[in-house]
Amino acid sequence: LSIQALGLRATAERHVQAAPPDAILGLTEAWKKDPNPLKVNLGVGIYKDDKGQTPVLPSVKTAEERLLATASTKTYMPIGGAPEYGKLVQALILGTDHPAIQENRIRTAQVPGGTGGLRVGADFLRKIRGGATVWVSRPTWANHKGIFEAAGFSVKEYAYYHAATRGLDEAGLLADLETIPAGDIVVLHVCCHNPSGVDLDAAQWEKVAAIAARKGWIPFLDFAYQGFGSGVEEDREGLLAMVRACPELLVSSSFSKNFGLYQERTGALSVIAANRAQADIAFSHIEIAIRVNYSNPPAHGGLIVTTILSDEVLTNQWLEELGAMRTRIAEVRRQFVLALKNQGIATDFSFINRQKGMFSFSGLSDEQVAFLREKKSIYIVKGGRISVAGITSQNIDYLCQSLAEVLNG
Ligand code: PMP
């Protein structure tokens, strides 16, 4: 196969540029190449411990040892993955005795990561609601737009973040959600909003759920950080409010962060329908979307999650390990705010303590972000999103001194 056969020569003649590198993953590549020993990476959304490492969780190691000892085949998974995994995921996202589970109107597919869940969900929705518009928050995780556009949707934004208060633009959000017509699709972050760290409280979720029910748009809930905000149960509050109000919705779960399974591509797509028959119909279309895409999911990550969640001792161990990650992030936020204050920076950064999850909108301008990268080897995504988990006791002083230089002029 020559390049010519691929038609690339023809495109080169038309001066088509190479595709741009991914902004966030590209930043890590640049950071890796930086020889400065003081360099700090606050770009990519990966949990890091105080040593700057992302070790395999001990509960995951134990599960893998068991799997290695007992595995007898590598034959294909079913199209929608292991049914047992689906049941365990449903209990994790909704709680064991949730009515949607008891009424048998939820179905779950094992998919390659949260990205896989979003893309399979997008392909499914495109088939049944082809002309709909997909709405995402302003701002949102950069890949949301790409995923839904790749599935053929046009994507629009609803108001979300309020720069002046560094909190939620509640009035703007509710007003925009009111304008979205029935049948359109609205992507909502269940917790630990990426990139702002600004979440809805219980009362705000109730308002959003009431609008969804009245207007009849389809909620697509992105649940990528369950347990990273306030706890596994607390973090599902918004999802439960939406399920109470809306007979039909989709949920994409990622286990990249909360199980630390990033490279194992472990996620789930759940569909909740009005009744059992409709859930079966929806799931049959989801299976078709999977079949023509990657046929059936990678098994290993799902087997790890199944091993942990089906064993009470391992589940409790995992919950403790997850709690330790959550506590460290909250503690880093506190120390960061304090250290910035101690540097004599006039700006009040206490809002960082109110934000949830791995990310924080720092309020740094693109010029300040560029200065920090070029002069200080501190890597922050354009737009000023900081991955708080990248801050350690080793780099916090250097980081805050450098920020003081930028902010105090
Ligand atoms: N949704 C959001 C909001 C995310 O932040 C991420 C991961 N950065 C994903 C989905 C995708 O997760 P995964 O790595 O499991 O595909």
The pLDDT tens digits for 170-224 are 999 999 999 999 999 999 999 999 999 999 999 999 999 999 999 999 999 999 9
> Range with the lowest mean pLDDT among 20-34, 82-96, 336-350?
20-34
Ligand 1 atom closest to Cα of residue 144: 1
pLDDT at 215: 98
pLDDT at 16: 67
pLDDT at 374: 95
Nearest CA to ligand 1 atom 10: 114
Residue 80 CB–ligand 1 contact under 6 Å: no
The yes-or-no answer on residue 205 being catalytic is: no
Query: Does residue 55 have a pLDDT over 90?
Result: yes
The answer to whether 104 and 271 are in contact (CB under 8 A) is no
Q: H-helix or E-strand containing 110? A: strand 106-111
Q: Terminus-to-terminus CA distance in the chain, angstroms?
A: 57
Q: Report how far ligand 1's centroid is from the alpha carbon of 377 (Å).
A: 26
Average pLDDT, the chain: 94
The pLDDT tens digits for 263-310 are 999 999 999 999 999 999 999 999 999 999 999 999 999 999 999 999
Q: Report how far ligand 1's centroid is from the alpha carbon of 254 (Å).
A: 6
The pLDDT tens digits for 219-274 are 999 999 999 999 999 999 999 999 999 999 999 999 999 999 999 999 999 999 99
Residue 267 CB–ligand 1 contact under 6 Å: yes
Q: Which of 28, 115, 148 to mutate to test the pocket of ligand 1 (most atoms within 8 A of CB)?
A: 115
DSSP secondary structure letter of residue 78: P
pLDDT at 408: 85
Ligand 1 atom closest to Cα of residue 265: 15
For the chain, what percent of residues have pLDDT higher than 90? 89
State how far the alpha carbon of 292 is from the alpha carbons of 120, 252, 288, 295, in Å.
10, 19, 6, 6
pLDDT at 5: 66
Among residues 22, 25, 64, the alpha carbon closest in space to that of 41 is found at 25
